Structure 1
């Protein structure tokens, strides 16, 4: 069983997410796939029970129920279906897209629009003691259903585990939609990589768009530099994992408004190596490239970057590409710690850092493709013209 995590166990958390994602995405049988999603979600909290429901028109269809304490064979066979409304816990989460953390469902606060249906408890003898209900949210499809986790073994839902559950719900939603609409294992696998990148920063609402901007911009530059079509696709998917090590960085530092102090900056600088250690050891080209990007995208052409102080062509080319696209994105988009730079100011900085922070050839490719890259920023974010 997966053990409850503290902040020091972030690497274990990402490895769990990665292994769980791989396990679900290779499952071809639809019901077994849904069952695996719920099984892994329950493992995050060592929870005794849970359910997954998906939106079907004006209703929620419960696709799977699991309970280690009682026999629920009869319930599973009943194809539970409820109206898609805010008056149920699952319905409220599906309609509003808001997560619910309910410590005592039998004593809900006054004024909440939803109620706890104790019919299953009464019928089976099971007692629901705590509920974490998480929306299954897809970036383009929106909320597609609800994941409910009941009765964690430790009696409480720890904060980091809640974040991991949110990250895993994104992975699950991506796979559900991918399998539903495309039926392609490859597409499910590749989108899983993107959602793993998102899971690293599960509390940042802009993260998915940030990842999309990095992916497309990096692919554009790679194409201009003569990468093959396969290599372009690889950097497109691998670049999504560039900041996966940030799962180990406290939110208070990541989202701090204002300048970091020396100790906070030292902590931030650990994320490339932590990301590389999470991704290391794979025999797939995409993950090998992901490891290089995660480890080296903060190195500088002049040798003054981190974590290893590499210079010039000692830095893998894919990391040199992502270094440019990541910095440009950070400049032109608003972040918790800074306002967005005007577009021309950001372009001027990229040019000034040619041969200092950035590989001159990559900068030249960036400006040769400037119109395309700026359009990516406009389409997937808000920039100051």
Structure 2
């Protein structure tokens, strides 16, 4: 094939420290291929580093935020306030570079025309490589939360994509060039931009579209395990259907099915699904942790949220964004969750206002907006 006719090669780089970075990259890859005719690949940077470094970088992070959130909150604040030229910051970057040599060789072999990073680690690594002439294509970075931590501020990249106007303002305040900053929203899969019929989606899940539907997408600190949270909600004297997502946790799914047998027509357990948008489309309220991608998906479909147990730092900021804009409420424990659900179901006008606010904030075409700018 002549060089001029070769599809543009887009490389999406994420890090599997939580699922959101990878989901944003997958969304960009899907839209790049389907809407722009590009050749897109998504790589997890952790597949190109030694296993010991991977375990430290991802497993340690996940354990820290789950078991020691207060310690993570301190680390989040300290790293956000640490100047990039501090000795500790220079040492951290040196260790990362030492462990990521395989990534640079793989990039050289693939020879992409453009790179988009949905995590700050590859952005930092490649910015230095570009300064030294080892990477020649444009590099962009997509922030995947409604906040800006200092680690996302990597100078001399081709473009910076922000989840909101406030994140863009924070980018400018931290010295990134205004002309390279774009407010795109957070990329989500193309399915969230398609019109979805509530009745049809409800019928697929065995739900009655005329009755309220609550979507419970996780348990954890504050509201208890998923089955405990579901049991507490089902004890409320209110007419609603509860869809509880257990993901790939077969043990939890079995517990939920046992609970559902005692609440016929009210509890609908679900395992892992690749069509979460269809469940969201027939829901009136989502109960979930406020990850950047989950939050963006709910907003795209105009689905208000009750958020619980946000991770200190980025998820707390996502929660603040929802509360400040009237698209969500926060439950600090199981009692608060049950109180807020009861109050919203008893006040349809308030719930409708939250839905309108969520839809106003939603950016279902974020991936397309990013790629239009990248390919401009």
Give the TM-score normalised by the residue count of structure 2. 0.28
Give the TM-score normalised by the residue count of structure 1. 0.27
- Larger RCO (alpha carbons 8 Å, 6+ apart): 2
Larger radius of gyration: 1
